[in-house]
Amino acid sequence: MSDAIRGKCWCCGRALTAADYGRENNCPACSKPARACRNCRHFAPGRPDDCAEPMAEPISEKERANFCELFEPTDKPAGGGAETPTKDLIRAAEDLFK
């Protein structure tokens, strides 16, 4: 496995490598599950099942580890350490009127 950074933890923002995204692996810094919806690039609050991928099976707990085959790590997770999606949407709406 490569030590190249693949993404960041949805909770604390720590950089994660490919080895950190195993089904049973947790973030080395905060111990939250790394392979969770909130760490996926398809995670989209407000969309059906909070997922931008229409073929994904519904997952009810977005902060728990799961078996989603469409999981792809993201370097901009939606979680505690990052800005909330609501703030991002408000900023985008305000930018439209500048």
Answer whether residue 10 shows pLDDT above 80: yes
For residue 49, report the phi and psi dihedrals to the nearest 5 degrees. 60, 20
In the chain, how many H helices and how many E strands? 1, 2
For 74, phi and psi rounded to 5 degrees? -130, 150
Q: Tell me what percent of the residues of the chain surpass a pLDDT of 90.
A: 44
Q: What is the pLDDT of residue 77?
A: 76
* Residue-averaged pLDDT of the chain: 84
What is the model's pLDDT at position 52?
92
Using an 8 Å Cβ cutoff, are 36 and 78 in contact?
no
73 φ, ψ to 5°?
A: -60, 150
pLDDT at 68 over 80: yes
* Structure confidence by residue, pLDDT tens digits, 27-61: 999 999 999 999 999 999 888 889 999 988 999 99
Confidence tier at 1 by pLDDT (50, 70, 90): very low
pLDDT score of 3 = 72
Predicted confidence (pLDDT) at residue 80 exceeds the cutoff of 60: no
